[in-house]
Amino acid sequence: VAKPLLSHLTVSNMTWGSVSISWEAQESAFDSFLIEVSNSDHPHETMVLSVPGVSRSSVITNLKASSNYTAHLHGLIGGQRAQTLMVQATT
């Protein structure tokens, strides 16, 4: 059985304190998505967001201005990480 397709993680609408991310995934492939966002200068300050499996985008808020962030998007099936994508953004 092939892994469900999770692809095209992109960043848009960057502001001083927020960023939007979007992705593509096969329909009904994932139960939910877990988004982990960390500040490159303060990696211990990781934010974790959970979004439904039908979602294909999320707005990440409460970010620090002029900072570099890394976002990991995990597609979850049965509570387990099935596939992960990564993207970097600067506020």
Return the pLDDT at 44: 87
Quote the number of domains for the chain: 1
Return the pLDDT at 5: 84
The answer as to whether 51 is a domain residue is: yes
Return the pLDDT at 4: 60
The answer as to whether 56 is a domain residue is: yes
The answer as to whether 50 is a domain residue is: yes
Q: Would you list the DSSP string of 20-89?
A: EEEEEE-TT--SEEEEEEEETTEEEEEEEEEEETT--EEEE-SPPTT-EEEEEEEEEETTEEEEEEEEEE
Residue 22 belongs to domain spanning: 6-90
Return the pLDDT at 43: 82
The answer as to whether 1 is a domain residue is: no
Mean pLDDT by 10 residues, the chain (91 residues): 80 93 95 96 91 97 94 96 95 89
CATH of the domain at 59: 2.60.40.10
Return the pLDDT at 60: 96
